[in-house]
Amino acid sequence: MGTDAAPAAALWPGDTGLIGEQARRALLELIKGPYLSGVKAPALWSALLADEVGIRSRLHELFLELVVDRVGEFAFVRNVSTTELKLPSTVRTAALTFLDTAMLLVLRQMLLAGEGDGRVIVGQEDVFEQLRVYRTADRDETDFNKRLNSTWLKMKNTLRVIHQAGAEDRAEISPVLRLIVDAEQIAAISGEYRRIAEGGTGPDLNVGGVDDADADLTDDATPDQAEEMTA
């Protein structure tokens, strides 16, 4: 057919894509983030596994790498990290407040403590109780509870690391939290948070943000974070 022949995966006239429709949809879900779940989207999960090589190749062209957990049935993308050359940051970053990050730490600890027994389901108040140590005497309790509720909704609707499990105040912790917030990141911030909880004076830590696609913590604190960190 010569150079004018359409690729086998072409979906419309002039389409030069090299992967099939379902693989493209899986690729799009990965880029949109924060992750692709085999439980929530089994067809896209199957498409990812069927054409993992092709999807990885497309992601590499965007300076992204694919992380796949076949046991937990989830996958996400993150910026490629290499010392060979300076690469652009592809995934967007959403700022986390001090309280957001603290809740991520609590949820991750609960996940690691309970995942040996299967699904990890927690009560909202049990999580909130562990965070009340961060409320100082000058912070109104009603306002602090409002912030806790806002953070809980962010965990559920934006980061999607928890999912409602029956009652409104019960949630299952997604196993993806094991990977998107890793041990190195935990070590970098846990000591500082412990000092604050024990009554240390205002934090001097830049909590940073979380990538929509991979939830890597970064170093830039926003004004909102500064306000929350002094709470």
The residues near 30 (Cβ < 8 Å, ≥ 6 apart) are 36, 48, 55, 59, 66, 75, 76, 77, 213
With 50 as the cut, is the pLDDT of residue 216 above it? Answer: no
Cα separation, 214 vs 69, in Å, equals 13
With 50 as the cut, is the pLDDT of residue 219 above it? Answer: no
- Convert the pLDDT of each residue in 81-127 to its tens digit: 899 899 988 876 667 888 998 999 999 999 999 987 788 999 999 99
Q: Which amino acid appears at position 198 of this protein?
A: E
The residues near 116 (Cβ < 8 Å, ≥ 6 apart) are none
Q: Give the DSSP H or E segment for 64.
A: strand 64-69
Nearest to 175 by CA among 100, 117, 102, 112: 112
In the 8-state DSSP scheme, what is residue 115? G
pLDDT score for 4: 60
- Convert the pLDDT of each residue in 138-157 to its tens digit: 889 999 999 999 999 999 99
pTM greater than the 0.75 cutoff: no
Please compute, for residue 4, the number of CA atoms within 13 A of its CA located in the half-sphere on the CB side.
Answer: 1
How far are the Cα atoms of 44, 55, 200, 227 from residue 209, in angstroms, in the given order? 28, 27, 23, 15
**Domains along the sequence of the chain with CATH:** 2-79 (1.10.10), 93-229 (1.10.10)
Cα separation, 161 vs 145, in Å, equals 20
Cα separation, 145 vs 111, in Å, equals 23
Helix 183-197 vs helix 98-114: crossing angle, to nearest 10: 120
Cα separation, 108 vs 14, in Å, equals 47
**Helices marked H in 61-182 — which ranges?**
98-114, 124-131, 141-153, 177-180
Confidence band of 207 (pLDDT split at 50, 70, 90):
very low
